[in-house]
Amino acid sequence: MKDLPTVQAGDGDGSPASAPIQVAPGKLMATLGIAGALAGLVIVLVFEWADPQIQAHRAAALRAAVNDVLSDPASYRSVYVTESGLSDAPPAGADTVNAEKVFLGFDAGGAPVGYAITGAEPGYQDFIHLIFGYDPATRRLFGMKVLESKETPGLGDKIYKDMDFVTGFEGVETPIVGMKQGAATGAANEVDMITGATISSRTVIEIINHRVEALGSDLGEHAATAPRAPASPDPALVDEAVEGGVEGP
């Protein structure tokens, strides 16, 4: 360990012209170690300051999304998706942030309103992440909101910019059927698709249908247990970053 070959190799062309000065490896390590510790300390200090604000932003984003698709519930909390159905408590040993979950909204009287469910599937460009509000009793949607997508600006991005399309999901019955513009027959499960963005709009519909199909019976069972609203807004639930929620399956 005298000539430190890796370090020499990494030196590149800018190394000093003089013969390599032999510095004790211990000193090199100590230098880097101290520098690393200092850097870590600085980062931790900044993190301590920034983290509450970052978490607040994320919680606000999640709250806004849930509010949008459940038409402003008085409160909401996480319900975890497990192998054996939905569970109010996180599955043992699971990472609460990354565990798959849905959000249950309650009205001012503490009665459940409906579930906000996230989902993601590849659209025309990349994954479309969305959240939608769902009432298992009537099998109807409250609304749909696209959280993240890279669909073609001007065409595919109409899935969140075209308000006619977005509001078309309010009150629609599942499973949803996408209809060509002007072909709607007035049935309760029809949504008008976007001309020129067939793939994007079809993906949105399919994400919702697939998620309802996968969770539908579990949601019904969970709703039948008459879940209770959280006694007080639980910040810990709010902190479960929106990112954990939107990644989806």
Partner 1 sequence: MRETTAHEDLIRGIWKENPVLVQLLGLCPALAVTNTVPNAIAMGLATFFVLTGSSLLVSLLKNWIPSEVRISAYILIIATFVTIADLVLAAVVPLIHKELGAFIALIVVNCMILGRQEAFASKRPVGRALLDAVGTGTGFMIAMLMMGTFREVLGSGSVMGYSLFGENFEPWIVMILPPGGFLTLGFILLAFGWWKERHSEAIRVRQWPHGVASGEEVA
Partner 2 sequence: MNGRGPGRGPDGSMDIDSLAEIRLRIAASPHLRSPHSTPRIMWNVVGSLVPILAVGIYYFGPSALLVVAAATLGSVLTEVLFGPKGSTKDGSALITGLLLGLILPPGFPIWMAFVGGVFGVGFGKLIFGGLGQNVFNPALLGRAFLQAAFPAAITTWPLQPDNWWALRGDSFALPLMSPSAPDVVTGATPLGLMKFEGLTTDTMDLMMGSTAGSIGETAGLLILVCGGYLALRNYLDWRIPLSIFLTVFVFSGGLYLIGPDRFPSPLFMLFSGGLMLGAMYMATDMVTSPVTPAGSWIFGVGIGLLVVLIRVWGGLPEGVMYAILFMNAFVPFINRITQPRVFGQPRRKPRGAEA
Two tokens, residue 157:
């991005």
Quick one: 8 or 181, whose CB is closer to partner 2?
181
Residue 128, classified by CB atoms within 10 Å of its CB into exposed (0-12), middle (13-18) or buried (19+), is: buried
Binding partner of residue 199 among partner 2, partner 1, none, CB under 5 to 8 Å per kind?
A: partner 2
- For strands 127-135 and 140-148, give the pairing: antiparallel
Binding residues with partner 2: total (CB under 8 A): 8
Footprint on residues 125-184 left by partner 1 (CB under 8 A): 152-154
The CA distance from 238 to 41, in Å, is 28
Helix or strand (DSSP H, E) at 185 = none
Kindly tell me which of 7 and 188 has the beta carbon lying closer to partner 1.
Answer: 7
Q: Quick one: what does residue 35 bind among partner 2, partner 1, none, with the CB cut-off 5 to 8 Å set by partner type?
A: partner 1
Binding of partner 2 at residue 124 (CB under 8 A)? yes
Query: Cβ closer to partner 1: 20 or 171?
Result: 20
Q: Does 196 sit near partner 2 (CB under 8 A)?
A: yes
Distance CA 14, CA 218 (A): 64
In the region spanning residues 42 to 61, those forming contacts with partner 1, defined by CB under 8 A, are 42-43, 46-47, 49-51, 53-54, 57, 61
Strands (E), 32-176: 75-82, 85-87, 101-106, 112-122, 127-135, 140-148
Nearer Cβ to partner 2, position 63 or 202? 202
Instruction: State how far the Cα of 124 lies from the Cα of 173, in Å rounded to an integer.
Output: 25
Q: Is 155 in the site for partner 2 (CB under 8 A)?
A: yes
- DSSP letter (8 states) at residue 173: B
Which helix (H) or strand (E) segment holds residue 53: the answer is helix 25-69
Asked if residue 96 binds partner 2 (CB under 8 A), the reply is no
Residue 93 contact partner, candidates partner 2, partner 1, none, CB within 5 to 8 A by sort of partner: none
Neighbours of 225 (CB within 10 A): 11
Q: State which amino acid sits at residue 31.
A: T
User: For residue 112, which of 146, 68, 79 has the smallest C-alpha distance?
Assistant: 79
> Residue 158 or residue 211: which is nearer to partner 2 going by CB?
158
- Considering beta carbons, is residue 87 or 198 the nearer one to partner 2? 198
Please give the residue ranges that form the binding site for partner 1 (CB under 8 A).
Answer: 4, 7-8, 10-12, 14-16, 20-21, 23, 27-28, 31-32, 35-36, 39, 42-43, 46-47, 49-51, 53-54, 57, 61, 152-154
| Interacting residues toward partner 2 by CB under 8 A | 124, 152, 154-155, 180, 196, 198-199
